[in-house]
Amino acid sequence: MDLSQKRKRISHELTKSQPSRREAAPSCSTNGQAGGFVEGSILRITMRNFLTYDHSEVFPGPKLNMIVGANGTGKSSIVCAICLGLAGKTAVLGRGDKASHSHLITESCLTARVRLHTFIIFAHSTQKSVQLCRDDLVACSQNANKVYKLVNPEYETARKELEGVKKEREEMKKKLKSLKEAQEPLLRKIRSVESQLQPIEQQMKELTAGIRDASQKCKQKHDQLEYRNKEVDDIRQDLSLKQTEEADRQKRIGHTQLMIKDLQKELQNMGSMEDVTPQIEAVNADLRKIQEEKAKLEGEMLDLRRDKDEAFGELNRLRNRQRSLDDMMKVKEDKLRNRFRDTYTALKWLRDNRDRFEGNVYEPMMLVINVRDTRHAKYIESHIPLNDLRAFVFQRQEDMEKFMTEVRDTQRLRVNTVIAPEESCSKRPPSRPLETLKPYGFFSYLRELFDAPEEVMSYLCYQYKVNDVPVGTEKTKSMIEMVIRELQMRMIYTAEEKYTVKKSNYSSNVVSSNSALRPSQFLTTTIDADERSQLEEQLRAAERQVQSIDQRMVAIREQQAKLDRRDNELRANKKKLSELKGKKRQLEQKISTKQDSLRQMEQNEINLQAIEEETNAKIAAVNNKKVAIMEEYLGHMQVCLCSPKLDFYPHKNTCVCVFAQVVYTKLDQAKNNLLATCKTLMRRASEICNMTPGETAVPEELHAAFSQLPDTLDEIDAMLNEEKTRAECFTGLSDAVVEEYNRREREIQNMEKELDDKTNALRTYRQNIAEAKERWLNPLKLLVEQINERFRDFFRSMQCAGEVDLHSENGEEYDKYGIRIQVKFRSSTELHELTPHHQSGGERSVSTMLYLMALQELNRCPFRVVDEINQGMDPVNERRVFDIVVRTACGVNTSQYFFITPKLLQNLQYAEQMTILCVHNGPYMLPPNKWSEKAFIRCATRRQIS
C-alpha cells in the first residue's frame, strides 16, 4: 500500500462550563521527513487562553530543543500543552487533583485551545488514532491464544504416554501378588522346621542356666582370690616402707657425723683472732652522719608534701568544676540518647575511633552548640532543622564517606551527616549592620546568640544564614507590617514568633507567613564557653605545679635511696665484724647441737629382722585362706564343665565335659534333619516356580519379586514374627471391620493415583515455568546489558563509574525483580547503589539523567521531555551532563528532545542541530508585537564588546 507522508494537526479545546471536546483540523502535506523530523515529532504547538498564555506558537526543531526561561514564565505550560494535546490525563500534569480542565484556562476566559502539528505517516488520521496502542494489546492477547492451541496437541500426546505407563505398573503389581501367593507353601514348611527345633532349644536353655549359676559362683571366688592377693601386696608394702625408713636413718647419721667433723676442723683452724672493736666504732660514726643527712631530706620532703596537698586541693576544686560542666554536657547526651538512639550509638563509635579520620569531625550539633542565654534557645532550635541538629559535621568528604560506610552500611544506623564549606563562612558579615535594625526592635542576629566550633558555625552561616537572620522583641511584633515592607528580609524572629517573607514568582506581591515558636528541647542547657576555656587553662597550670613538686620529690627520693644504700653497706660491714667477734662461740654451740641430734638418731634404730619374720607369718596365713578359696573355686568349675558326667584329671588341674559331646551329636542330627528338610522344600519351590530339575537360575520375574524381600535368615525370621503378630491381632474381627479396611484401602489407592496425577501436573507446570522464564529472562538480561553498556560509557566519559544490572534476592520471586543502579563519583570510593541516602541530590540527578539517556537508543519514541533535571546538580556535573545530552540528542537517527531549564551555565558547547527556545512571558514583559529580536541581539552584542 502506497502511503504518503502527511502532517497531522490535533486540536484540543477546553471549556469551563462544558466537558472538553476534540476536533480535527485539515491536514497539510510536507515533503520528505520535514528537515530531519521523524514520525511522531511535533512541528508546531499553538496555545490560546491556556495557563499563562493568551496566544502563543512554538516551533520546535527536529533534534534537541532547549526551552529556557525564568520561573513562572510558562515553560511547564508547553509541557502541559503537549501532554493534553496527545490525549493525556490531567492527573499526570502535577497541577493538583482537580477533575476538570477549568484550572488550565486563563483567568477571565471561558475556553482554551491547544493545537499540535505532528509528523505522522498516515493517509487519513483523526484524534482517536492517538490511542491505537490499546488495540495492539488486544491483538497480542489473541495471538497468545493461538500459540496455546498449537502447543496443546503436544501436551495430549505426553498425557496418553503417561496413561500407558500407569497401566503397565498395575499389571506388574498383579504379577507380584500372584508370586507372593505361590510362596505361601514354602513359608509353611519353614514354620514346621521351626517347631521341630523348639525341644532342642529348651534343653540348651536348661543347660545354660546351670552353667550360668556355676559361673557366677566361680566369679565370686575369683574376686575373693583377688582380694587376698591385694592383702599380701599391702603386707609387703609395709615391710618395704620400714626398710626405706631405716636406710634414710643411716644416711642422716652419716651426714651429721661429717658435719660435726667439719665444724671441729673449722674451730681448730681459727686459733687466736685480733680485736675488731675500733673498726666497729668507725662504722658507727659514719652511720650517725648518714642519719643526720636523712633527717634533713625528710624535713624538705614534708614541706613538699604540704605544698603538693595544697596544689592537689586546688586541682580537685578545678576538676570538680569541670565535672560539673561535664555533667551538664551529659544532660545533653542523655537527651540525644533518649530521642535518637542510632545517633547516640554512632557517637560512641566515633569517640572510640577518632584516629581513623584525617580532618576535623564534630559530634552532633545539639552537643557542640552552646546557647549563651537559655531564653534564646528557642530561636536556634526553630531555625535549624532537627535533622541538622542531630547531624555530624565533617571537614572532609572522604572522612564522611568512611564514617557513613561504617555506621550506616555496616551497623545499619540511621544518622545524618553534613560537610562544612571549603571556604569558611563563620565570619561572613550580615547584609546590613545591626544598628540600622535596632529602631525596629531587633537586638541581635542569630549567630551572636550561640557559640559553636569554626566548621559548624561556617556550615550554619552558609546553609541557614544565621549571620543574616535578626531577632527582635515585642516592639518588632507591634510594627511587623512596617518591618516586612521596609526591610524586605526573608526571615525574621520576634519575641515569640517566626516570620517568613516570600516574593511571588508571577508578580511583585510580598507574601508573609508566621508561626509560633515552640519551647526549646535540646539547647536549654547552657555552658559558659569563656568560663570553660579559663577553667581548662587553670587546670593546666595546676597540673604543671603538681608535676614540678613531683619532680622535686623524685630527686629527694633518689638522694634518700643513695643514703639508704650507704647505710646498708655500713650496717652489713658492722654485722660482719660483729659476726667475726662471736663466730668461735657460735661454732662451739653448733657442734654441741649436732652431737645431740646424732645421739637421738642412734637411739631410734629399727629391728628389720623381727619385722621380716612378722611379715612372713602374715603372708602364710593369707595363703592358707587362698587355698581354701581355690578348692571351692575348682568345685564350682567341675559343676560348670562336667555336668551331668565329669572326668577329672588331677595332674592337669582341668576338667573335661563329656556332655558337650552329647550336645554336639544332637546338634549334628538336627542339622542333618534340617538340611534334608531344606532340600525337600527346595525341590517343592522349584516345582512351584516351574523350574526344570538341575536348573539353578531363578526366573527374572521371580528374581525381581525376591529382590524386594530380606537377604538374611535373621531378617526373614523377624519379618515372619512381625507378620505372625499382625495376624494374631486380627483374631475376632467382625465383617464390618474387614469391610472398612477394604474401603479405606481403595480410598488410599485412589488418593495415590490422584497424587501421581498432581505430581506429574506439577512437574509439567514447573517445566513450563522454566521454559517461560528462559523466554522472558534471557531477552531481558540482554536488554539490561545493552542499557548497562551505554550507562557505563556515559559515566566513563565523566571520569566516573556506573553500572546497571537486573537484581532480585530470590530468583523465583518474579515480582521482586528490579533494575539496580550502582554509581561511583570519586576514585577513592567503591560502587554504591543509587539511593536517596548515600548520594547527594545533584549526584542522583546526574545518575537519573544518564540512565534516561541510556534508555533512549533502545526505546524508540517520537519525542522526549525532560523538565529541570539539572536543578540539583553542581556546575561540574551539570556541564558534563549537558555535553552528553547534546552529543546524544543531536546524533544521527535520534528522536526529538525537549530540555526545559530555568538557567544555563556560561560557555557551554552548543551543536548546530540544536534549537534554543527562550520563553519571555509575564505581566511586565514586552508584548509580542513590540518585541524585536534583531534589536535584542544588537544590544547583547554591544554589551559583550564593552
Specify the range with the lowest mean pLDDT, choosing from 194-208, 316-330, 420-434. 194-208
> Is the C-alpha dihedral spanning 270, 274, 277, 283 positive or negative?
negative
Question: For 277-304, what is the mean pLDDT?
Answer: 85
Cis peptide before 693 (omega within 30 of 0): no
- Confidence check: pLDDT of 27 > 50: no
Contact residues for 802 (Cβ-Cβ < 8 A; gap 6+): 791, 792, 794, 795, 821, 822, 823, 824, 831, 847, 850
The model's pLDDT over 720-759, given as tens digits with 9 standing for 90+, comes to 766 666 555 555 555 666 677 778 778 888 888 888 888 8
- Confidence check: pLDDT of 908 > 90: no
- Which pLDDT band, with edges at 50, 70 and 90, does 598 fall under? confident
Contact residues for 190 (Cβ-Cβ < 8 A; gap 6+): 681, 720
Does the domain spanning 276-320+534-603 belong to CATH 1.10.287? Answer: yes
pLDDT at 829: 79
Closest CA to 221 of 651, 638, 621: 638
> Is the C-alpha dihedral spanning 534, 540, 542, 545 positive or negative?
negative
pLDDT at 174: 74
What is the DSSP code (8-state) at residue 105? Answer: B
- Which pLDDT band, with edges at 50, 70 and 90, does 773 fall under? confident
The rounded percent of the chain whose pLDDT value lies above 90 is: 16
Closest CA to 698 of 190, 194, 173, 182: 182
Q: Residue 41: count other Cβ atoms within 10 Å of its Cβ.
A: 22
Contact residues for 224 (Cβ-Cβ < 8 A; gap 6+): 629
- Which pLDDT band, with edges at 50, 70 and 90, does 659 fall under? very low
The amino acid that residue 127 corresponds to is Q
Question: For 512-531, what is the mean pLDDT?
Answer: 79
Angle at 787 between CA 785 and CA 791, to 5 degrees: 115
The residue that leads in pLDDT, 330 or 288, is 288
- Which pLDDT band, with edges at 50, 70 and 90, does 494 fall under? very high
Range ranked top by mean pLDDT from 452-461, 644-653, 731-740: 452-461
Question: For 805-822, what is the mean pLDDT?
Answer: 82
d(CA 670, CA 202): 14
- Which pLDDT band, with edges at 50, 70 and 90, does 590 fall under? confident
Rounded (10°) CA dihedral 151, 157, 159, 165: -150
Angle at 434 between CA 428 and CA 438, to 5 degrees: 165
pLDDT at 447: 94
pLDDT at 920: 80
Q: At what angle do helices 277-339 and 341-352 cross, to 10 degrees?
A: 150
- Confidence check: pLDDT of 469 > 50: yes
Range ranked top by mean pLDDT from 138-142, 601-605, 840-844: 601-605
Closest CA to 592 of 268, 271, 259: 259
Burial of 473: CB neighbours in 10 Å, binned 0-12, 13-18, 19+: middle
Question: For 42-54, what is the mean pLDDT?
Answer: 88
Contact residues for 494 (Cβ-Cβ < 8 A; gap 6+): 441, 472, 473, 474, 476, 477, 480
pLDDT at 346: 95
What is the DSSP code (8-state) at residue 190? Answer: H
Closest CA to 253 of 591, 599, 592, 606: 599
pLDDT at 364: 93
Specify the range with the lowest mean pLDDT, choosing from 117-121, 183-187, 541-545. 183-187
- Which pLDDT band, with edges at 50, 70 and 90, does 249 fall under? confident
Model confidence pTM above 0.95 = no
Angle at 569 between CA 567 and CA 575, to 5 degrees: 100
pLDDT at 735: 65
Mean pLDDT estimate for the chain: 77
CB 643 within 8 A of CB 287: no
CB 902 within 8 A of CB 75: yes
The amino acid that residue 310 corresponds to is E
CB 393 within 8 A of CB 362: yes
The amino acid that residue 914 corresponds to is M
Kindly state which CATH superfamily the domain 41-134+865-943 is placed in.
P-loop containing nucleotide triphosphate hydrolases (3.40.50.300)
Q: Quick check: do 41-134+865-943 and 276-320+534-603 share a fold? A: no
Query: Would you state the cell numbers that stand for residue 333, as one nine-digit string?
Result: 547526651
Query: Would you state the cell numbers that stand for residue 632, as one nine-digit string?
Result: 571351692
pLDDT at 722: 66
The model's pLDDT over 339-389, given as tens digits with 9 standing for 90+, comes to 899 999 999 999 999 999 999 999 999 988 989 888 999 999 999 999 999
pLDDT at 462: 94
**Starting from the edge strand earliest in sequence, which strands make up the sheet with 444-445, in order?**
444-445, 470-471, 491-493, 497-503, 510-516
Closest CA to 321 of 539, 546, 544, 524: 539
d(CA 799, CA 883): 14
pLDDT at 162: 62
- Confidence check: pLDDT of 125 > 70: no
The Cα-based distances of 292 to 282, 285, 554, 556, 560 in angstroms read 16, 11, 20, 15, 12
- Confidence check: pLDDT of 20 > 50: no
- Which pLDDT band, with edges at 50, 70 and 90, does 717 fall under? low
CB 837 within 8 A of CB 824: no
Closest CA to 7 of 167, 140, 115: 115
The length of the chain, given as a count of residues:
946
Domain range annotation of the chain: 41-134+865-943, 186-272+607-668, 276-320+534-603, 340-527
Rounded (10°) CA dihedral 67, 73, 78, 84: 160
Closest CA to 218 of 600, 530, 634: 634
Query: Which residue reads 507567613 in cell numbers?
Result: 513
- Which pLDDT band, with edges at 50, 70 and 90, does 505 fall under? low
- Confidence check: pLDDT of 669 > 80: no
d(CA 946, CA 931): 24
The Cα-based distances of 279 to 307, 376, 521, 575, 585 in angstroms read 43, 87, 85, 11, 20
Range ranked top by mean pLDDT from 310-314, 712-716, 834-838: 310-314
What is the DSSP secondary-structure string of 881-895?
Answer: HHHHHHHHHTSTT--
The Cα-based distances of 11 to 34, 46, 465, 662 in angstroms read 21, 9, 50, 124
Phi-psi map region of 94: left, alpha, beta (phi>0 left; psi -120 to 50 alpha): left
Q: How far out from the chain centre does Cα 414 lie?
A: 14
The model's pLDDT over 673-700, given as tens digits with 9 standing for 90+, comes to 666 766 777 777 777 776 776 666 667 6
Rounded (10°) CA dihedral 39, 44, 49, 55: 180
The Cα-based distances of 209 to 198, 203, 304, 643, 730 in angstroms read 17, 10, 99, 12, 36
The model's pLDDT over 828-886, given as tens digits with 9 standing for 90+, comes to 778 888 887 677 777 888 888 888 888 876 777 788 888 877 776 778 888 888 888 88
- Confidence check: pLDDT of 4 > 50: no
- Which pLDDT band, with edges at 50, 70 and 90, does 142 fall under? very low
The residue that leads in pLDDT, 1 or 896, is 896
Which residues are bridge partners to 470 per DSSP?
Answer: 445
pLDDT at 160: 66
Question: For 576-599, what is the mean pLDDT?
Answer: 78
- Confidence check: pLDDT of 13 > 90: no
